[in-house]
Structure 1
């Protein structure tokens, strides 16, 4: 009997229950903060003691006072006194504590407000001067595709505030409706699809008395504000052109709003901006990650100096403390390790796996995910784990195949003797930009693949061209064509592994994926039915023009200028090619991949007389959250595969 992994995934929220996240070092290195199970926790490094601070959705603060946001209410936690007090402020959508711990800036009903930390002296900094204007929050493309989740930045001394003013008036409106409640009013949602108008983003510097100055830069050319940061002296922002081929790092004069160019980066394809750069050291040196074409490497830059060696692919900067930079990087694409630079580069982790962490104020936090599980240490002492152990043992083999050395994770049934019989094959890729799956740790995704394997499949997950971890040439190989290289790599890996092992039944090959992986699953059936015999697709983009501007234009350009690239990589033009069993799955409240993608595609298939199955999930967004649905959806997919592939 196969262990009940679907039930465990539902019960543990895909193993997020009990799992700490969003770590920060606070109080000069004395405290480590993290979120776990909808609450803020602190670990006292001196006393080696963990304490639940209070309920939380998010938090802000690096001193001994921490601002906590919980369901649009504000709380203030004193880590020394152990107090947790609610402030007389409600309906908050964003809030930031000033570094001097004297004031809080927050957004409410699209306006920007300021209040003292004792809950007194609330004042209005900026009102929403338009129906589609809001202050202090990122626009859709910023938090969805740029990795910028902020719209408020305090100066280090707490005397000034940098804030975004977003006007979505020009952005097209889509509507989210609930078909289970036809009397409910559809909710408007501003969604900037590829080739359409983006939100207008302006920046203002505020003094505590309410005086403000608008930040000046060439907004017509550089319409994207991709980053902002608390600078050691003056605020710093990174702005980017619509085609993403030029990025400027600008320093702001807070007294006038004028900007000075600090660094300009150009790229004939696009300038990639990892989520936590730029940053600055205490002396004001710029910390940046830049593509070096001559050695095909993403390198850590300190001002104009590349400080990491060729071949070490720098992924992101974890934190900057004083003159010490902590960052993650990859020399083996299946592993991520922690490094520090403090004049020299040193590696902090050795065990195969995916490691992250922080080094600040003399405290070292390491978050290590390995094949054996997860371990979090603070200065070498392991924090007690409250995560549930999987009910299923993971059996995975990592394989490199072909001229491109494609990394593949291979999962087999525990009961199957290799070579004794041929088994059907299930490909479970994501394979799109920005995400790796083939990494050496016990991920929920890997456990799900093992569950399918225990039901009689050999399961393969391949990271092909377009995925990160292999360097610029590899992850940019899909610019201009997000389909053909990716599909070719999946097939190449499948055939290479089948030749190597001999027990893969190539007459029974299915593919299963979600989001980009769901798109790839449909494309596999439409373009290569000679290889693929069934597919399961969740939340797939079927018309590339329907996805958001920043992400889609990065790889395909403007739809009006690159119409053929959009047509060639969309699925709707090829609906008539469907000749194999297909299961479509779509959440009806998805505002990332809109339900219209699935409805238009299923409509085209029906009009063409192409049989398929279609599961709709009312109330579900891009990620399915209802526990019963999470559990039963896996069983439904398993039944579909059993029915669709010949015995």
Structure 2
């Protein structure tokens, strides 16, 4: 990794999209494990990602598709693609996603709403596929590589890659209906980003039909552009109707629109379609989906509205007969786990279910109905891949929620072994050997006996990508794998001192905590540091991770004269099911109480912290938590910056909100208890509210309602509206200046910060 030129940290972080540009990602592996496809820009500021191929044996890499030579000039994204990327939190450009056929011979992708295909052997240039209509959204290549399915204008099309015309398989029956795309709730909250799945033999497409006519329409307008038409979106707020989702098999036999064969289940009892696909190895099917002989069945999971029941179904695509395979129930909620359902080559179901009694309930990996991992006390995170009879899964060791390990379960042996990542060689790439680094966050993909492992840790900048194969030429078992080289990251190295982080478990509950100190600070100097708490603090996200990149922004804030404290309280993942579910019925008090507990514990441990100058900043749920802190506990917190905060849970979506609070019709008190508009303290503290006017996830009305309530109560506050900005403030100038303005506000609110003048230039001081 390398720097192109020196610049301030806020500018560098904004320009490099938080140092993600140039990191290899979106890996696909050939069936024999000898070739790897991935996306990566040409340097750390090149946001236009190219499609690359790496030869595992030789280590040679080459570009097979470059958007600068393939595309049609400046990127012009259709509205459907912008919405899809918003749900994915995708901030890149160029080729941001692609699919490959089963033989790893071809890939398809889009640029500016136009469809392209490329041969992965690199023998020919990519070509534009003559789709009948534009824009083309979310294409998926057929298993045999001869056609691609895509969506345009709500209609599902199939087009031949070598000619053969473009056929409409299904078309919307009227306004509000669409085929082949994930609805808002599926993409935003259930991590299901697709709405079409090829049958393993390429004879049919399984597609979701979405009717969002029942969903309430909200209007999002930009006051800075009064001449522009307002955007109308279908937003299913808590307690209101969701989109209606159905599944159908569409045959490619015949001509014209296909007659759908409906896969029906009790959609009134189980309205949420969580996962869908086939039992065979179709692209875009269930994770690791291997076949079970010649039979190819539809598989899907559906969840109840109260999320206390999740059922797995299997359906015959010809007769449409549906049978239940298993059910998961929980009196609080059932989590939709990543990577399942999936199947081994012999047809065994790979699933994540409950193990242990109700008091000590934990999630376990089940293969063929037998418990397969993780080790006792570990926290299972998800299934990463299935390769033949091997299952790659991720878990955090007992007592180490900030570490994420990879494990391989071998169904033949009935054993799980940890994946060992060889240490980096002096040249920077992974060296052969079986050693490992201590701690870190691992993720991976696996096929054909090849593992692609990405590692983030506290000892190195950015991401290290290692290609692993067994030393004896067989399949790796995790413990005996040797490196077949590393895939270089071209991301820039932050122009910032190495994060100075102290980890510990805070308070009686053992809250995971991290304290980030200024790089220039001498703890024995007698100078007391103001505290800046920097949490997310809510479900589905952790901030205290053993990864240097997790603390870059916090280190920059620290070098402006703060001790930055990060704590993952109840509701966050990584510890236990009980820890996650402790926020049921109250999203405010448990999370806020744990931030206060972590702060008080830090004050006892570190005598140089100034309890009379404590600020808090956060975004999204973290913004909600920051606003709560100064409004409800002003005796503890003296200033706050709340970015895109959820202030009124009536305004947030069904699946997320109702998981924790139920519906407002049945649990009105829980909504009141969790609202940032209620239960304020008497002291008025400085509060800056930041919100994008184009945000369609946490809409601007959240900040507007809080601002109006504060104004009505005579409380001073600052509102910073961001014209044209969505929930992700990724535009370079905006992202840079947001950091600078926050520091200025915090210094002013707390009466300055200790020793800022001592910060080195590399810290990018304000």
Q: TM-score, normalised by structure 2?
A: 0.82
Moved more, 507-516 or 7-16: 7-16
Moved more, 129-138 or 274-283: 274-283
Confirm or deny: 8 A CA contact 1:229 1:278 kept in the other structure: no
SS in 1 for 2:631: helix
**Is 1:135 aligned with 2:135?**
no
User: In the alignment, what sits opposite 1:51?
Assistant: 62
User: In the alignment, what sits opposite 2:492?
Assistant: 388
SS in 2 for 1:261: strand
Q: 1:156-175 residue pairs with structure 2 within 5 A?
A: 156-175=200-219
For 1:71 and 1:33, the matched residues in 2 are separated by: 22
Q: 1:233-312 residue pairs with structure 2 within 5 A?
A: 233-292=296-355, 294=357, 295-308=360-373, 309-312=375-378
Aligned-pair CA distance for 1:121: 2.4
User: In the alignment, what sits opposite 1:223?
Assistant: 271
User: In the alignment, what sits opposite 2:121?
Assistant: 80
Aligned-pair CA distance for 1:70: 2.1
Aligned-pair CA distance for 1:620: 0.5
User: In the alignment, what sits opposite 2:70?
Assistant: none
Aligned-pair CA distance for 1:578: 5.9
Structure-2 change in CA distance of 1:477 and 1:119 (3 Å): farther
Aligned-pair CA distance for 1:50: 1.4
SS in 2 for 1:282: coil
**Is 1:585 aligned with 2:690?**
yes
Confirm or deny: 8 A CA contact 2:64 2:122 kept in the other structure: no
**Is 1:336 aligned with 2:399?**
no
Aligned-pair CA distance for 1:576: 7.5
Moved more, 37-46 or 565-574: 37-46
**Is 1:491 aligned with 2:495?**
no
Confirm or deny: 8 A CA contact 1:298 1:312 kept in the other structure: no
User: In the alignment, what sits opposite 2:72?
Assistant: none
User: In the alignment, what sits opposite 1:449?
Assistant: 554
Q: Cα RMSD over matched residues?
A: 1.5
For 1:109 and 1:127, the matched residues in 2 are separated by: 9
How many residues get paired? Answer: 645
Aligned-pair CA distance for 1:577: 4.7
Aligned-pair CA distance for 1:605: 1.1
Q: Which runs of 5+ in 1 are unaligned?
A: none
For 1:344 and 1:64, the matched residues in 2 are separated by: 34
User: In the alignment, what sits opposite 1:42?
Assistant: 53
**Is 1:212 aligned with 2:260?**
yes
Confirm or deny: 8 A CA contact 1:58 1:70 kept in the other structure: no
Aligned-pair CA distance for 1:573: 2.7
Confirm or deny: 8 A CA contact 1:432 1:467 kept in the other structure: yes
SS in 1 for 2:678: helix
For 2:404 and 2:262, the matched residues in 1 are separated by: 41
Structure-2 change in CA distance of 1:3 and 1:392 (3 Å): farther
Confirm or deny: 8 A CA contact 2:338 2:381 kept in the other structure: no
Confirm or deny: 8 A CA contact 1:251 1:262 kept in the other structure: yes
For 2:157 and 2:446, the matched residues in 1 are separated by: 33
Aligned-pair CA distance for 1:235: 1.4
Show CA shifts across 1:200-244 (max 9, x none).
001101111234300111111110000012312211000011111
Confirm or deny: 8 A CA contact 2:632 2:681 kept in the other structure: no
Confirm or deny: 8 A CA contact 1:59 1:68 kept in the other structure: yes
Q: Which runs of 5+ in 2 are unaligned?
A: 1-5, 42-48, 68-94, 281-295, 421-435, 469-482, 753-766
For 1:407 and 1:219, the matched residues in 2 are separated by: 40
For 1:481 and 1:119, the matched residues in 2 are separated by: 57
For 1:96 and 1:65, the matched residues in 2 are separated by: 11
Confirm or deny: 8 A CA contact 1:542 1:598 kept in the other structure: yes
For 1:306 and 1:166, the matched residues in 2 are separated by: 36
Q: 1:504-543 residue pairs with structure 2 within 5 A?
A: 504-543=609-648
SS in 2 for 1:447: helix
Which of 446, 450, 458 in structure 2 is aligned with 1:363? 450
Confirm or deny: 8 A CA contact 1:576 1:605 kept in the other structure: no
Which of 106, 120, 129 in structure 2 is aligned with 1:65? 106
SS in 1 for 2:690: strand
Structure-2 change in CA distance of 1:607 and 1:319 (3 Å): same
Confirm or deny: 8 A CA contact 1:165 1:204 kept in the other structure: yes
For 1:79 and 1:28, the matched residues in 2 are separated by: 14
Structure-2 change in CA distance of 1:97 and 1:532 (3 Å): same
Moved more, 320-329 or 506-515: 320-329
Aligned-pair CA distance for 1:324: 0.9
Which of 120, 126, 135 in structure 2 is aligned with 1:91? 135
For 2:61 and 2:456, the matched residues in 1 are separated by: 21
For 2:583 and 2:60, the matched residues in 1 are separated by: 49
User: In the alignment, what sits opposite 1:462?
Assistant: 567
Confirm or deny: 8 A CA contact 1:67 1:75 kept in the other structure: yes
Confirm or deny: 8 A CA contact 1:291 1:472 kept in the other structure: no
For 2:35 and 2:683, the matched residues in 1 are separated by: 57
Higher strand share: 1
User: In the alignment, what sits opposite 1:188?
Assistant: 232
**Is 1:436 aligned with 2:499?**
no
Show CA shifts across 1:125-178 (max 9, x none).
111101100000000000000010011111111112100000000000011212
Confirm or deny: 8 A CA contact 1:357 1:364 kept in the other structure: yes
Moved more, 552-561 or 151-160: 151-160
Moved more, 417-426 or 195-204: 417-426
**Is 1:645 aligned with 2:689?**
no
SS in 2 for 1:452: helix
For 1:597 and 1:171, the matched residues in 2 are separated by: 19
For 2:664 and 2:7, the matched residues in 1 are separated by: 48
Aligned-pair CA distance for 1:603: 1.3
Confirm or deny: 8 A CA contact 2:444 2:452 kept in the other structure: yes
**Is 1:9 aligned with 2:50?**
no
For 1:34 and 1:577, the matched residues in 2 are separated by: 55
Show CA shifts across 1:393-433 (max 9, x none).
21111111222211111111122111422110000000100
Show CA shifts across 1:453-490 (max 9, x none).
11111110001111101010111111111111111111
For 2:486 and 2:122, the matched residues in 1 are separated by: 25
Moved more, 39-48 or 503-512: 39-48
Confirm or deny: 8 A CA contact 2:352 2:365 kept in the other structure: yes
Confirm or deny: 8 A CA contact 2:182 2:208 kept in the other structure: yes
**Is 1:376 aligned with 2:465?**
yes
For 1:36 and 1:17, the matched residues in 2 are separated by: 7
Moved more, 427-436 or 70-79: 70-79
Show CA shifts across 1:255-285 (max 9, x none).
0222111111111111111232111112221
Confirm or deny: 8 A CA contact 2:640 2:688 kept in the other structure: yes
User: In the alignment, what sits opposite 2:417?
Assistant: 346
Moved more, 546-555 or 386-395: 386-395
Q: TM-score, normalised by structure 1?
A: 0.97
**Is 1:177 aligned with 2:225?**
no
For 1:264 and 1:208, the matched residues in 2 are separated by: 33
